[in-house]
Amino acid sequence: MKTIVKTLLAAAAAILVTGTAIAQNHLEDPRYGNTPEERTENLKLLNFLQDEMNAKNYKIAAEYVGQLMNSAPGAPNLYIWGATTYKNLAARAKSVAEKNRYVDSVMLIYDRRVEHREVADPNRTVAYILHRKAVDYASLSPMNRPNVRKFYKDAVEAGGDSVDSRVVLEYFQQLVNDYKGVQIQADELLTAFEQLSPLMENASEEQKDSFTGLFATSGAASCDVLEELYAKLLASAPDDVELLGKAYGMMTMIDCQSDFYVSVAEKHYAASPSTPVAIRLASVYENRQEYDKALRYLNEMLPTENDPTAKANLYIRMAASELGLNRGSAAASAARQAIALNSDSGLAHMFLAEAYMAGAGSCSGFHSQTVLWLAYDEFARARQAADGDAALISAIDSRMATCRNNFPTFEDGFMYVQGYANGKSYTVSCGWVSGTTTIRSR
């Protein structure tokens, strides 16, 4: 028993010594006052403040907050405790006017925290404090939309180029809410999206998706809204390269395809040529079945593309456009170029087969039917390279069946070819179509 008592006494003595050392340190800390007497008094006030907060006597606690903000504005934790005190008073207010007074006090405390940050809160940035201010205001006065937007904007601007992407995302969410609530206009939301987008470059992919998703589902991101906005702006500045780029980027993001969009894209490309814009224009013209225009951009991209697979894909798209223009020979040439770059491309073989079928009209009768043998060979190669693509395989099987159903009969072949026999080698010659294949009869 004596041993236990001795141990407890030693522990109590250690605590007393430690507490005394801490108190002594505080008495020497200029953040609590200019003189030892002031520091002693202010430390008492801080202790009283904590006691009243713990007892939930927030009105009394608020009196201590006011005294300390004058006598010890650099005291650590003062502004955190002060904001907590007034937020609790706001939550207990009996009237709107009373609540608003308390909310104003919370905002003032944040402003004083920024003012004395280097002394009272050196580990927190101004951007961090202003973000907490915005969050608290949005929670306390959610209906005062102009101030919610202002405080969030202040926080984002304080963060500069290194602003926390989460703050940017929260701010943009508030803006989208206000657009949907008819608090701001579409042009304000669009301007904000353009200005905030660079600040999201280092965000996580999930955050980036959330940011663009907010805009895409806002209602402001419709082609009609964007066209109306940018038509007015470009009418007064038709040669503004920066404006053209913004209009193109915004409308491309939501996949606009209108005549106005195409005209903007064309002007943007003329002013600032680039491969991504050329690819986009080619796609739009393919969708519009304006294949000659699509080919223009595909041809412009060829010299700039060094990756064999990507270049093969360009040739495949060229083959498709040539077929759309009923130019089978040119389509076959593009498809062969694609195969030379990527022989494993099922689409390249498929488009060559389609080009052959289109070329069957270059001659007539039996000779026209022999072209289907060449097409069938390419369809078979396409199927082998389809790599489990069920949709592609189904399309190929359908076209192969069409070929088989239109092969020459054995009787027709026997009349035209000496020694005609299934499985025998045969050289096709039909207009521009030529090649060696195998005889097959239906």
Return the domain boundaries, the chain. Answer: 1-124, 362-442
Query: Is 235 in contact with 222 (CB distance < 8 Å)?
Result: no
Percent of the chain with pLDDT over 70: 94
Highest mean pLDDT among 208-217, 282-291, 381-390 belongs to: 282-291
Q: What pLDDT, on a 0 to 100 scale, did the predictor assign at position 441?
A: 93
Q: What pLDDT, on a 0 to 100 scale, did the predictor assign at position 250?
A: 85
Cα–Cα distance, 384 to 380 (Å, whole number): 6
Q: What is the mean pLDDT of the chain?
A: 91
pLDDT mean over 165-171: 97
Task: Provide φ and ψ at 433, rounded to 5°.
Answer: -85, 130
Q: What pLDDT, on a 0 to 100 scale, did the predictor assign at position 9?
A: 44
Query: What pLDDT, in 10s, does the model give residues 27-61?
Result: 788 899 989 999 999 999 999 999 999 999 999 99
- For residue 428, the cross-strand partners are 435
Task: Provide φ and ψ at 18, rounded to 5°.
Answer: -65, -45
pLDDT tier, 16 (very low <50, low <70, confident <90, very high otherwise): very low
pLDDT mean over 213-223: 86
pLDDT tier, 3 (very low <50, low <70, confident <90, very high otherwise): low
pLDDT tier, 17 (very low <50, low <70, confident <90, very high otherwise): very low
Is 0.85 surpassed by the pTM of this model? no
Locate tokens 């002594």: which residue?
24
Query: What pLDDT, in 10s, does the model give residues 93-114?
Result: 999 999 999 999 999 999 999 9
Query: What pLDDT, in 10s, does the model give residues 310-354?
Result: 999 999 999 999 999 999 999 999 999 999 999 999 999 999 999
Cα–Cα distance, 168 to 163 (Å, whole number): 7
Q: What pLDDT, on a 0 to 100 scale, did the predictor assign at position 132?
A: 97
Q: What pLDDT, on a 0 to 100 scale, did the predictor assign at position 323?
A: 96
Q: Which two tokens stand for residue 151?
A: 């405080």
Cα–Cα distance, 59 to 45 (Å, whole number): 14
pLDDT mean over 284-303: 94
Query: Is 134 in contact with 154 (CB distance < 8 Å)?
Result: yes
- For residue 426, the cross-strand partners are 437
**Angle of CA points 290, 292, 295, to nearest 5°:** 110
- For residue 438, the cross-strand partners are 425
Query: Is 165 in contact with 202 (CB distance < 8 Å)?
Result: yes
**Angle of CA points 358, 362, 365, to nearest 5°:** 100
Q: What pLDDT, on a 0 to 100 scale, did the predictor assign at position 120?
A: 87
CB under 8 Å to 207, separation ≥6 — which residues? 165, 166, 169, 200
Query: Is 57 in contact with 70 (CB distance < 8 Å)?
Result: no
Whether residue 293 is predicted with pLDDT greater than 90 in this model: the reply is yes
